[in-house]
Structure 1
């Protein structure tokens, strides 16, 4: 690996960018072991501390993973949510240079349950579009997605080919572009069906994300539950301390 490190930007940022470019271009393929910190430092003419900071930043982005006693490797697939950004699965994959596809496991229109009606603000029994998908990046299974949308918002939903189509794009075309979402995550154990479809063992940890998404009119447009393989997904958040009246920080 070679790179020209010049300019006013911090060296660790330049090193991170150089390695990231090699990964995204495929010159360092998924699963490949990176050169040691000492080797990289010698080749790039920087300190090992600089290399370590760059590699740690790549790990935070999900591009690199550490194997204790073995070194650092390019992640095979690791999807990471940018802090405070509402993006579709397709958009998240595209940011990593990966192609998002889906296997549609179930797609139907059915009456809304009482709970769904209360959460969305529609009449019980109103038509709901429901879809279950296995989500993949470059053909690698990453997540199982369960989504529900009031059919009145986008009547064409049952006719869309969701093997490649983005739900967010379809909703935007229907005049219901999503602008914000309430998002919660928790750990769960894979059941037999999830394990079979995601290629993990029964009981392996998954990250379950629940989403309630809104459009610009503050309508609830989508209810979603997504179970991610824990080794192929990271969620980033930006946390800000609240200020007390008078300017001090909350203890």
Structure 2
């Protein structure tokens, strides 16, 4: 109910009503919301107030608008912290989702340029080049291109890379993964990314670049990923440094 005597703005109260309906699964992903007119009549408020409430929730990503069709409950974003190194497979399993991969290409090629440099290889040394679409409950989440030293991580096959490479490295090869160095930036989806991630050209994506090291600090993996901006967000804890 709307309390017009409350110090809380009416548009904010409408937002909270919508949130509660989504949290309680009364409205689920893909459901269409009542029109602004119906909202306004039901709660005896102006359509402008309803529009403000809905617009803020669209900007937040909780709702999405489709021109000529209405406003819908959006697919909710996954939040991944930037502390700690986990594989995509481990991350999805922790969320109770079924991880899988769709292999786009699997090749052995000669390392060159930045790939050779970040993996500590000479130009011409062999690397695996693996391109996968990473899925959660069969929904595409990220396009991932991985380069791995063939000499350091021998025996990779198409079957292995469609599951967890980290599990193979640790459980099968007995190598200890130590840490990763990661950078993140916002971008717009290019043609191939849009096609493989099932989004529109120029939709937002999060580009992630990671170099992963074994415990002895040897780099073994260089990954470039494009995550769907409508399905993923990243968070980080930032402790305050001691003042000197």
Is the pair's TM-score, using the shorter chain for normalization, greater than 0.5?
yes
Q: Is the Cα contact below 8 Å between 2:77 and 2:230 reproduced in 1?
A: yes
Listed as ranges, the matches of 1:65-104 within 5 Å are 66-67=62-63, 76=75, 78-104=77-103
User: Which moves more between the two structures, 109-118 or 209-218?
Assistant: 109-118
Paired position in structure 1 for 2:229:
230
Larger-gyration structure (1/2): 2
Paired position in structure 2 for 1:106:
105
Counterpart pick for 1:171 among 165, 169, 172: 169
**How many residues end up aligned between the 2 structures?**
191
Listed as ranges, the matches of 1:14-163 within 5 Å are 31=29, 66-67=62-63, 76=75, 78-158=77-157, 160-163=159-162
Question: Structure 2 CA distance, aligned partners of 1:114 and 1:96?
Answer: 37
Q: For structure 1, list consecutive stretches of 5 or more residues without a partner in the other structure.
A: 1-18, 34-63, 246-251
TM-score w.r.t. structure 2 length?
Answer: 0.69
What secondary structure sits across from 1:175 in the alignment? coil
TM-score w.r.t. structure 1 length?
Answer: 0.67
Q: For structure 2, list consecutive stretches of 5 or more residues without a partner in the other structure.
A: 1-19, 32-59
The alignment's C-alpha RMSD in Å is 2.9
Question: Structure 2 CA distance, aligned partners of 1:166 and 1:29?
Answer: 35
Q: Is the Cα contact below 8 Å between 1:168 and 1:177 reproduced in 2?
A: no
After superposing on structure 2, the runs of 4+ consecutive aligned residues of structure 1 that deviate more than 4 Å are 27-30, 68-73
What secondary structure sits across from 1:117 in the alignment? helix
Query: 1:166-187, CA deviations, whole angstroms, 9 ceiling, x for partnerless residues?
Result: 0111111323332211111101
1:207: Cα distance to partner?
A: 0.5
Question: Structure 1 CA distance, aligned partners of 2:83 and 2:134?
Answer: 22
Q: Is the Cα contact below 8 Å between 1:131 and 1:147 reproduced in 2?
A: yes
